[in-house]
């Protein structure tokens, strides 16, 4: 028996004690959904701390598998996976399977790495290594190198089956989306907030998005750009919902009542309050922003305090300790950098003052806000928000019921 399979490993989940089952189920569901989206409907088996995805009778390396590998590389919670065979539980079939797989080994040294979690298997791991290694040497005349081999032939002898593979692919790690609850991410078309959204997704939170814009007073290009960014980010969580919220009417009221240097702080407090309404609707636990300490004049500790004072839920800032270069490098890795690099009209630059308050005062903000009645505009902004669903073909329809 030589069945083409992918063995999927998830590191951190295994450490979660009694929550482990919950995490495994979430990852199982996420893998299943991501693959169903590309038309793969075979069962993904959950066995002994790993998942086994059966590729059926197709040849390993079939081009249709490339898309499966690509998907698996982007599912949070997967640490690595190997493409190979499931073989019968005896040394003869293990050797046969390894010989078939080793046809594609690059020239150069190799080693065999056996993990035997089923101690009932009659040979020890070193014995399997020796026998299989010798068979490869006899057949392909490749040199063994235990310390720094070009290729590693991996054999896993588990209770559920015996799995062998050579090609091992790195996943992105983290936790499966949905396992840590839900958040609303305040997303702009810039570099930072998409990266912040990714990092929080990778820690298992499902991310809803809120984008605030000043259309029709400026162009809609920030909306289009955010739409593209979310398209990319949805590869990591499969389905995303974004509220495109028009706030120009609120901004006009702020401009009329506030000293110019306070505008941006007041806009941020408005964003936070509106985002909380969206969060309540989707039962989210926290907000997320792409701020990093001291990156720009508005992102000082004091200003963050002034913004957070308007929030009733935690405001998470996953990029707080990162440099701009580190953020952009991560944006490049996850594929949002080129989209964010396009120019766009930002709502905060709409009637932007020349100078920005770097050390705001809560008392002063309260004083200004006491003179503005936003109630009507808040409801209008939510009511007029466009909802964009970026997802696969199984997406559900979502409607705006802030009426
Ligand atoms: P980014 O690259 O994410 O735009 P930035 O360095 O340009 O960040 P700011 O423009 O000061 O920083 O924004 C700080 C954070 O406020 C952003 O990371 C984002 O979370 C939120 N934010 C800013 N503008 C908007 C917007 N128009 N809609 C939603 N959130 C926004
Ligand atoms: Mg910005």
C-alpha of residue 183 to centroid of ligand 1, in Å: 16
Closest CA to 44 of 92, 78, 12, 90: 78
Q: Which residues contact 47 (CB under 8 A, 6 or more apart)?
A: 158, 159, 160, 161
Is the C-beta atom of 215 inside 6 A of ligand 1?
no
> Which ligand has its closest atom nearest to the C-alpha of 328?
1
Q: Dump pLDDT digits (tens) for 74-105.
A: 999 999 999 999 999 999 999 999 999 999 88
C-alpha of residue 290 to centroid of ligand 1, in Å: 6
C-alpha of residue 187 to centroid of ligand 1, in Å: 6
C-alpha of residue 331 to centroid of ligand 2, in Å: 14
Atom 20 (ligand 1) nearest CA: 289
Orientation angle between helical segments 263-281 and 362-370, nearest 10 degrees: 80
> Which ligand has its closest atom nearest to the C-alpha of 340?
1
Is the C-beta atom of 251 inside 6 A of ligand 1?
no
Q: Where are the alpha helices (DSSP H) in 192-323?
A: 192-202, 221-237, 248-257, 263-281, 301-308
C-alpha of residue 190 to centroid of ligand 2, in Å: 5
Orientation angle between helical segments 263-281 and 375-383, nearest 10 degrees: 60
**Length of the chain in terms of residues written:** 403
Is the C-beta atom of 214 inside 6 A of ligand 1?
no
> Which ligand has its closest atom nearest to the C-alpha of 274?
1
Q: Counting Cβ atoms within 10 Å, is residue 147 exposed (0-12), middle (13-18) or buried (19+)?
A: exposed
Domains and CATH numbers, the chain: 2-170 (3.30.2130.30), 182-398 (3.40.50.620)
Closest ligand 1 atom to Cα of 193 = 3
> Which ligand has its closest atom nearest to the C-alpha of 194?
1
Atom 31 (ligand 1) nearest CA: 188
Q: How far apart are the first and last CA of the chain?
A: 61
8 A C-beta contact, residue 153 and residue 110: yes
Is the C-beta atom of 297 inside 6 A of ligand 1?
no
Mutate to test the pocket of ligand 1, among 192, 266, 297 (most ligand atoms within 8 A of CB): 192
Is the C-beta atom of 4 inside 6 A of ligand 1?
no
At 344 the pLDDT is 85
C-alpha of residue 40 to centroid of ligand 2, in Å: 39
Atom 23 (ligand 1) nearest CA: 188
At 314 the pLDDT is 98
Is the C-beta atom of 156 inside 6 A of ligand 1?
no
One digit per residue, pLDDT tens: the chain, 403 residues? 788 999 999 976 656 677 888 899 999 999 998 888 777 777 799 888 899 998 866 555 556 688 889 999 999 999 999 999 999 999 999 999 999 999 988 899 999 999 999 999 999 999 999 999 999 999 999 999 999 999 999 999 999 999 999 989 999 999 999 999 999 999 999 999 999 999 999 999 999 999 999 999 888 999 999 999 999 999 999 889 999 999 999 999 999 999 999 999 999 999 999 999 999 999 999 999 999 999 888 899 999 999 999 999 999 999 999 999 999 999 999 999 999 999 888 776 666 667 889 999 999 999 999 999 999 999 999 999 999 998 754 445 566 667 5
Distance CA(261)–CA(360), nearest Å, equals 9
Closest CA to 344 of 247, 237, 214, 234: 214
At 351 the pLDDT is 63
Is the C-beta atom of 186 inside 6 A of ligand 1?
yes
At 65 the pLDDT is 80
By DSSP bridging, strand 80-87 and strand 2-9 are antiparallel
Q: Where is 398: in which H helix or E strand?
A: none
Is the C-beta atom of 190 inside 6 A of ligand 1?
yes
Is the C-beta atom of 197 inside 6 A of ligand 1?
no
Is the C-beta atom of 303 inside 6 A of ligand 1?
no
At 394 the pLDDT is 43
Closest ligand 1 atom to Cα of 210 = 29
Closest ligand 1 atom to Cα of 226 = 28
Closest CA to 202 of 225, 231, 230, 179: 179
C-alpha of residue 136 to centroid of ligand 1, in Å: 56
Is the C-beta atom of 295 inside 6 A of ligand 1?
yes
Q: Tell me how far CA of residue 292 lies from CA of 70, 119, 174, 218, 220, in angstroms.
A: 31, 50, 22, 27, 26
């Amino acid at each position: 028996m030589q069945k083409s399979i992918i063995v999927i490993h998830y590191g951190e989940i295994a450490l979660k004690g009694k929550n482990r089952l919950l995490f495994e189920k979430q990852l199982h569901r996420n893998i299943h959904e991501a693959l169903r989206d590309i038309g793969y409907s075979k069962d993904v088996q959950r066995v002994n701390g790993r998942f086994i995805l059966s590729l059926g009778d197709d040849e390993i390396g079939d081009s249709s598998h490339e898309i499966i590998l690509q998907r698996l590389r982007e599912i949070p919670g997967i640490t690595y996976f190997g493409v190979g065979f499931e073989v019968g539980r005896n040394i003869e079939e293990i050797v046969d399977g390894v010989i078939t797989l080793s046809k594609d080994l690059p020239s150069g040294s190799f080693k065999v790495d056996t993990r035997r979690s089923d101690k009932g298997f009659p040979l020890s791991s070193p014995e399997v290594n020796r026998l299989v290694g010798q068979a490869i040497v006899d057949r392909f005349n490749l040199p063994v190198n235990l310390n720094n081999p070009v290729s590693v032939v991996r054999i896993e002898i588990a209770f559920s089956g015996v799995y062998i593979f050579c090609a091992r692919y790195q996943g992105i790690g983290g936790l499966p989306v949905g396992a840590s609850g839900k958040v609303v991410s305040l997303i702009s078309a810039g570099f930072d907030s998409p990266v912040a959204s990714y990092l929080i997704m990778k820690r298992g939170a499902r991310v809803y998005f809120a984008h605030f814009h000043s259309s029709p007073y400026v162009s809609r290009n920030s909306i289009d750009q955010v739409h593209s960014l979310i398209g990319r980010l949805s590869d990591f969580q499969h389905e995303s919902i974004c509220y495109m919220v028009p706030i120009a009417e609120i901004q006009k009221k702020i401009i009329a009542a506030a000293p110019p240097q306070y505008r941006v702080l007041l806009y941020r407090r408005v964003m936070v309050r509106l985002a909380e309404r969206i969060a309540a609707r989707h039962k989210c636990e926290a907000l997320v922003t792409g701020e990093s300490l001291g990156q720009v004049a508005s992102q000082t500790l004091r200003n963050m305090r002034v913004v957070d004072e308007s929030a009733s839920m935690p405001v998470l800032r996953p990029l707080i300790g990162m440099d701009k270069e580190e953020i952009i490098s991560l944006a490049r890795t996850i594929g949002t950098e080129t989209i964010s690099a396009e120019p766009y009209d930002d709502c905060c630059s709409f009637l932007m003052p020349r100078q920005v308050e770097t050390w705001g005062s809560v008392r002063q903000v309260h004083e200004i806000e006491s003179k503005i009645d936003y109630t009507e505009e808040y409801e209008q902004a939510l009511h007029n928000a466009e909802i964009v669903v970026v997802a696969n073909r199984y997406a559900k329809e979502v409607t705006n019921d802030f009426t």
